[in-house]
Chains A and B, each alone.
Chain A
Amino acid sequence: MAARRSSKQGAKGSPAEGKATTGAPEGAAGGPAASNENHEFVAEAEEILERMLEDLAELHDQRHESASGEVDPDLVNQIFRSAHSLKGLAGMFGLDAISELSHRLEDILDGLRLGKVAFDSPAVDLLDDGVSLLTTMMTRLERGDANGDDEVEMARGFVAQIDAAIAGAVPEPSDDLESLDLDASLLRALTEYEEHRLKENLRRGRHLALVDSTFEIAAFEEGLSELSAAVREVGEVVSTLPSPGDAPESQIRFSLLVATSVDAARLASRLDFPDTEVHLVKEGDASAEAPPAESPAPPSDASQPASTEAPAPAGPSASEPSPPADGGGDAPEIESLRSISDTVRVDIRKLDELMNLVGELVIQRNAIGTVAQRLTEDVATARIGAELAKTHKALDRKLKELQTGVLDVRMVPLRQIFEKLSRVVRRLRRDLGKEVDLEFVGADTELDKLIVEQLVDPLVHIVRNAFDHALETPEERTAAGKDPHGRITVAASQRGNHVVIEVQDDGRGMDPAAILEKAIARGLVAESDQLSEKEILNLVFEAGLSTASQISATSGRGVGMDVVRNNLAEMGGMVDLASTPGRGTTVTITLPITLAIIQALIVAIREERFAIPLNSVLETMVVEPDQIGRSEGREVLNLRGEPLLLRRLGEEFEIPCAGPEERQFVVVLGMGEQRLGLLVDRLEGQQDTVIKPIKGPLQQIRGIAGATELADRGAILVIDVSAIVGDVIRRREAA
């Protein structure tokens, strides 16, 4: 994310900034004006690219899943339109390289939709690569740089590759459409694409029908899209054509050329709309029954005298429907325009500001609560205090709703990440030649946009690891009596205020003995340590431990899992691991739904207060001095039969604190599999807090995650639980 401009009140001469609008073309002037313009481009283009990625993933899925390798033509159209919009957009901003590249992608897609390029052609793989290249170029622009020669060069090379791939495109055999019982004028009105779809459907042996319907001009769009939607449930609308003008002034007639695999009777029953008739044009291959029912041309609508006007594609009164000659897919266009118009794109920083405001309101609310409390305690003001307390409660409720509302806006489905993962896996499949199926569950699970952004890298890393290390080669799998196809499942689900993501593979599993051996060799643990199997497995999250005996380009050299854990910990997340040798490994990630507002436990040592994020607190309890035992010089507590390592927060932070003879509170912290009891003087309750980022030198202080403001107590520091727990555990292991 770009750094926010500091808000110095226009200290510098403003005339220099005023000339941003003198439309400087791309490249040459890489000044602030140019990068600003590009920012607009990137914001818009990013959305298009994301959509393309999603649709491409869907396209690959359909291609693999359907036996005949058939892909929904609407999907191809959609990607085609995305490439087309991107081309136009880039052209508008004068970004020639991007425009050219999008143009070629559009060519491939056009070839696909017209049947000139086969779906198993190498050109289809080029689509993925092309979109990746576009993403790279876009990232560069977002950083404010113009695209350098290397990118332009790459794009150019790529364009040549595409040209080569689609050079062999063959024109479709000219099937004999004349023999169809269709009006010649209707056939002539078909676009190239529609003609291709017609042939394609005939080749697949589907029934062909003509659906004639009459609508009131005033409301025909709605009626037509309802009818088209109904058709799409059972088949495909090959073409929508305005019919010859035998309809009265206020009405308009359309003919829908429909391909379907359901029979005429069922089609007719599905399309039970007023003023609508279904005629079978050509029976599919399944069986040869009765010939087409009637002449498909002007349907005999008894009440209306047949007009002799020549059948023209665009009737005189039909100015709204775009003539079909301009490239297909009119009806879906109407829909997509609608869906865009009720969506608003918002800069995430604006949402951050909103969230900050809500956070401040939360603090003010807490302050009001305190005042109300104080008023109630004094007899003289008790009544007014009670009233204020009531108002405070009402405010509290509304504020919670507001908070939920704002949080809700920040939520995005995990689907986006899943698309990225499937792209990674597709590429790995190609590069490593392993057969792996990737399955997603719970793509609609929502998370804070910021978390989703930060989650991409760790998740890609885990999936890559599974692909590269955990899954065996097809030969190994066959030898082990397994399906040669490996399987990786990524499943997300919401549990209360957390989202749990499980990455599961059915690979070789992890060998605890090998990990332990390596960990001992690296000095991470002592030979004498008594570690549970789970503890041993979790050692892979330690820095410098990789179980892969070979270094590969895919998973690198074992820097990774520790970074994964740290990245997740920064978001307040945890990662855990379970494995059965020979059966597979499951990595479980638990994340808070949002980072914006957290519940914190306020603790105190003498007069110093700290906030501990509640999501890492397992429980709290009082401990009397005599309950604290010692083991190897460290304080431990017997917690329901399990030893719990204790640490005094005061000692950790070098604050003069209570001696061992005083009663203490223990806060049991959990980070993944690790537990630590933190001893504090007092617990001061829970509070909703907004963590403020620390921007100065404090950033580097270990153990402090940030600061927050409490209503009546000024600033208070938030403890970085993962750092504290990690440090204490490491020190114990080092000892």
Chain B
Amino acid sequence: MSESTTTEAMGGADWESLARGAASDFRGEGEESVFLLRELLVFGLDRSAYAVPVERVREIVRMRELTMIPRAPAWLLGVVALRGEVVEVVDLRRRLGLGASIPDRSNRIIVLHGDADRVTGLLVDSVSEVYRIADEAVLPAQGLDTPSVSEVCPRGDEFVSILDVDRALGGADV
């Protein structure tokens, strides 16, 4: 499946233990603090950078034919069929109060693990990279009026907004 990139393809799933291992290598004698790396999948939306924790990502797929859902809230764009599975797709723009998406072929759907064995797709503009950052560099998101963003972290000159996945996928209308 060339069009999908699974977390395995990104180099194994057990990020946390990898990070811990790396951290213990760096740790000096008698040092108290534990140095942790975070793995974030960074994606673009409305010319800004956002991210979700890599361990929540199941796969990334190209935009495909969406089936609209009558009576559904507007932020629920529709469903797509994925190898025999039916996955609901959330319009992240609407979820973040950025207006409605007009999806085209260039869009990507990030398929995320939700609660229990739920999977939900997140419609984004583009996917850029897996970004590693020290835990200490992540800051709580203050003063942002969207509840779906919980933290931010620096990346070069800009800041990346880290999504609270459960809020972003949650049932309540925004």
Contacts and interface: CB of A to CB of B under 8 A. Distances in A.
Interface of A: 3-13, 356, 359-360, 363, 608-609, 652-655, 692, 694-698, 700-704, 706-709, 713-717
B56 to A, nearest CB: 9
Contacts of A707: 67, 79, 86
B103 interface: no
Contacts of A652: 70
B135 interface: no
Contacts of B67: 608-609, 707, 714-717
Contacts of B79: 698, 707, 715, 717
A11 B79 CA distance: 27
Contacts of B118: 695-696
B99 interface: no
A692 B70 contact: no
A704 B71 contact: yes
Contacts of A698: 69, 72, 76, 79, 88
Contacts of B70: 608, 652-655, 701, 703-704, 717
B86 A694 contact: yes
B107 to A, nearest CB: 15
A10 B14 contact: yes
Contacts of B8: 9
A148 B174 CA distance: 43
A697 B73 contact: yes
A700 B7 contact: no
Nearest to B12: A9
Interface in B63-83: 64-73, 76, 78-81
Contact of B13 (A10, A701, A708): A10
Contacts of B116: 3-4, 6, 695
A6 to B, nearest CB: 5
B15 interface: yes
Contacts of A363: 84
A700 B65 CA distance: 23
A359 B83 CA distance: 12
B13 A654 contact: no
B120 interface: yes
Contacts of A7: 117
B171 interface: yes
B80 A714 contact: yes
A230 B87 CA distance: 61
Given A8-B55, A696-B114, A707-B86, A702 B71 contact: yes
Contacts of B85: 692
Nearest to B7: A9
Given A9-B13, A698-B72, A709-B86, A4 B81 contact: no
Given A9-B8, A695-B118, A698-B88, A715 B80 contact: yes
Contact of B84 (A654, A706, A709, A717): A709
B149 interface: no
Contacts of B14: 9-11
Given A3-B116, A704-B71, 7 more contacts: A11-B55, A13-B16, A609-B67, A692-B85, A695-B114, A697-B88, A714-B67
B57 to A, nearest CB: 10
Nearest to A701: B71
B17 interface: yes
Interface string B96-135: 0000000000000000011011111000000000000000
Contacts of B17: 13
Which of A692, A698, A717 counts the most B-chain CB atoms under 10 A from its CB? Answer: A698
A697 B86 contact: no
A347 to B, nearest CB: 16
A700 B170 CA distance: 13
A653 B67 CA distance: 13
B169 interface: yes
Given A694-B88, A696-B169, A714 B81 contact: yes
Nearest 4 CB-CB pairings of A with B: A653-B70, A9-B13, A707-B86, A715-B81
A533 to B, nearest CB: 35
Nearest to B56: A8
A127 to B, nearest CB: 39
B167 to A, nearest CB: 13
Contacts of B114: 695-696
A701 B72 contact: yes
Given A8-B113, A11-B13, A698-B72, A715 B171 contact: no
Interface in B11-33: 13-17
8 contacts: A6-B116, A697-B73, A698-B79, A701-B70, A707-B67, A707-B86, A714-B64, A717-B70
B68 A697 contact: no
A721 to B, nearest CB: 15
Contact of A696 (B55, B64, B71, B120): B120
Nearest to A361: B84
Contact of B76 (A653, A695, A697, A717): A697
A608 B69 CA distance: 9
Which of A6, A363, A706 counts the most B-chain CB atoms under 10 A from its CB? Answer: A6
Which of B17, B76, B86 counts the most A-chain CB atoms under 10 A from its CB? Answer: B86
Contacts of A708: 86
Which of B70, B72, B114, B118 counts the most A-chain CB atoms under 10 A from its CB? Answer: B70
B13 A653 contact: no
A352 B15 CA distance: 32
Nearest to A13: B17
Contacts of A6: 113, 116-117
A363 B78 CA distance: 21
B38 to A, nearest CB: 14
A655 B68 CA distance: 10
Nearest to A3: B116
Contacts of A701: 69-72
A54 B67 CA distance: 49
Given A6-B117, A714-B65, A356 B84 contact: yes
A143 to B, nearest CB: 15
A256 to B, nearest CB: 58
B4 to A, nearest CB: 15
A532 B88 CA distance: 44
Contacts of A714: 64-67, 80-81
A654 B73 CA distance: 13
Contact of A697 (B7, B84, B119, B171): B171
Contacts of B55: 8, 11
Nearest to A704: B69
Contact of B68 (A3, A8, A12, A608): A608
Contacts of A13: 16-17
Contacts of A713: 65
Which of A8, A13, A608 counts the most B-chain CB atoms under 10 A from its CB? Answer: A8
Contacts of A692: 84-86
A714 to B, nearest CB: 4
Contacts of A9: 7-8, 13-14
A654 B71 contact: yes
B148 to A, nearest CB: 15
Nearest to A692: B86
Nearest to B169: A696
B15 A11 contact: yes
Contacts of A703: 70-71
A717 B68 CA distance: 9
B172 to A, nearest CB: 9
A654 B70 CA distance: 7
Nearest to B78: A715
A360 B84 CA distance: 6
A14 to B, nearest CB: 8
A696 B88 contact: yes
Contacts of A4: 116-117
Contacts of B64: 714
A329 B81 CA distance: 58
B20 to A, nearest CB: 8
Contacts of B84: 356, 359-360, 363, 692, 709
B13 A8 contact: yes
Contacts of B66: 714
